[in-house]
Structure 1
Amino acid sequence: MTATDLVDRLVWNMGEGTKATCHRPGTQYTADQGTVPSSDCGHRYERPGEHKVYVTAHWNIDWTAAGGDGGALTETRTTELVADLREAQVLNTR
């Protein structure tokens, strides 16, 4: 049997009532972006402290077996973590 799996999307529940859905890894921050929010997968916390975060991975799985049988499956897996934000940075735009 052969199985090929691919993450379709990650859905982040950011722990304060907001969600972000990511269909790719995201764009790395560079200084020339300034204070512009992420265009593809980002979140900005307004307050420091602990935030309980859940991420759900949505998988697409294609499989084939000897003899030609095969099919497609979907699977979801959720993981919990705590984002411990202890520093808030300020950007001076003068």
Structure 2
Amino acid sequence: MGILPRFDGAKPKKGNPKRAGAGKPQVPIGVVVEQAVKKLPLPSPVIRTSPDEDFVQVVHVPTWMWVQHRAWDPVSASAAVDGLKVTATALPRKAVWTMGEGGKVVCKGPGTPYSDKYAPTASSPDCGYTYRRSSHSRAGRSYTVKVTVTWDVQWHGGGQAGQVPGMAMAAERQLVVDEVQAVVVR
């Protein structure tokens, strides 16, 4: 599920609008900025976890979280109207995870995929969560986990530059969280 906020206009540097031709006013730069921003191919994040998101997460065992790293690359798009060209570049700033049991995690990057170089009980170095309660009492016996990646957009063109902050793309999925009971055998 993606979220693309309404464009609220660009905040260009102050100055007189350029004139093209014999007294014909040029298209307002905000119009061209809006077109460039609308063309940005912001990727929808894909939720990944360890333990794998298709399997059960375990209470009191660290869950590693990340979005696919290709969804964290900067993206650019350009638009041109009547000779005025604007290029917009979006840079991901943070990923905010809501974990379904009330917890929230803010990650400054895409997160680190789990690998064998880490101990099985290790917490993620940059984006993880440890569930405290099973999801079995919830509808569907699972928690709805959501990640929202916030992007900041910088644009330039026509001798001007500006920013469009806080664009976002989001995804969600269900995660089953269970408790593991130990049995002591003598």
Q: Does 2:69 align with 1:16?
A: no
Paired letter, 1:36? A
* Cα distance in 2 between the residues matched to 1:52 and 1:73: 30
Give unmatched runs, 5+ long, in structure 1. none
Higher helix share: 2
Q: TM-score by structure 2 length?
A: 0.41
- Highest CA radius of gyration, 1 or 2? 2
Q: TM-score by structure 1 length?
A: 0.74
After the TM superposition, which residues 49-64 of structure 1 pair with which residues of structure 2 at under 5 Å, given as runs? 49-64=141-156
Residue 124 (structure 2) aligns with: 38
* Cα distance in 2 between the residues matched to 1:78 and 1:3: 17
Residue 36 (structure 2) aligns with: none
Give unmatched runs, 5+ long, in structure 2. 1-85, 136-140, 182-186
Q: 1 or 2 for the larger relative contact order (CA 8 Å, sep ≥6)?
A: 1
Higher strand share: 1
Residue 75 (structure 1) aligns with: 166
- Aligned alpha-carbon RMSD (Å): 2.4
Task: Give aligned-pair identity as a percent.
Answer: 34
Give the number of equivalent residue pairs. Answer: 89
Paired letter, 2:134? R
